[in-house]
Amino acid sequence: METVLSDLFPPGFSGGHFAGAAGMVFVAALLQGIGGMGFAMVSAPLAVLFFPELVPGPLLVLGAGIAILGMVRECSEIVWPDVGSLVGGRLAGTLIAGLTLSVLPTTLFSTLFAILILTGIAFSLSGWRVVPSVRNMVLAGLASGVMGTITSSGAPPFALVMQNLPPPRLRATISVVFLIGAIGSLAMLAYVHLFGPAEFWLGIGLLPFMILGFIASNPLTRIVPRETVRLLLLALSGCGAIGILTRVWLLRA
């Protein structure tokens, strides 16, 4: 096991390390299967602290995989006009992130977006409702593209804008966006030499645990109430934002 991991994965990624990462991926996939978001919001903060080899490339590989599963499960609920608005913003944000990764400190962008997300969560819990308009979806996509490329967790802006939509529509529509966004982010990371074969195979190696977590969520999607899904999304968004701030603190330490 150790020999195989050392041949395919980044240096120092031992069997025990792999088992811990697999458990994290399973739980994150389970939560995303229920709420339509949450995979990166849960896994990215934990990966920063315990499995830094997964950020951002391998998590984006897994994010693309779970997005495909979400599309297949509820394909009839996809709202394509919403997809266009979200993807347009996401791709623009990915381009901005790629252009700034080698020029400006990423910690500045990460801190700003994390603070904005926490502010949005506070307003949402106080009763403030974000209208899922075309403009707001484009802005959410823009923020997601920047955050997703830099930190591998681009879901919090989507959660704030789409939290009041019916869960099946939210899960199906956002899966399409996550797939396109993940591919775009991986391409940009590869272009700036931050994603290669080791990161790709690490993501593929954890893929079975992601699939098992998603399958385990299937019966739960039929019994979890809509308001519970909304609160789950806000909680996961908060965890994601705190995780981003933690990552910034670790980078500066």
pLDDT digits (tens, 9 = 90+) for 215-233: 999 999 888 888 888 888 8
Q: How far, in Å, CA of 77 to CA of 170, rounded?
A: 8
Per-residue buried b or exposed e for 164-201, using 16+ beta carbons within 10 Å of the residue's own CB:
ebebebbbbbbbbbbbbbbbbbbebbeeeeebeebbbb
Q: What is the DSSP letter of 220?
A: G
Number of domains in the chain: 1
Report the pLDDT value the prediction gives residue 1, as an integer from 0 to 100. Answer: 47
Residue 20, domain extent: 2-252
pLDDT digits (tens, 9 = 90+) for 14-67: 667 888 999 999 999 999 999 888 787 788 778 877 888 888 889 989 999 999
pLDDT digits (tens, 9 = 90+) for 91-148: 888 788 777 766 766 677 778 777 877 887 887 788 777 888 899 999 988 888 877 7
The 3-state DSSP composition of the chain as helix, strand, coil percent (nearest 5) reads 80, 0, 20
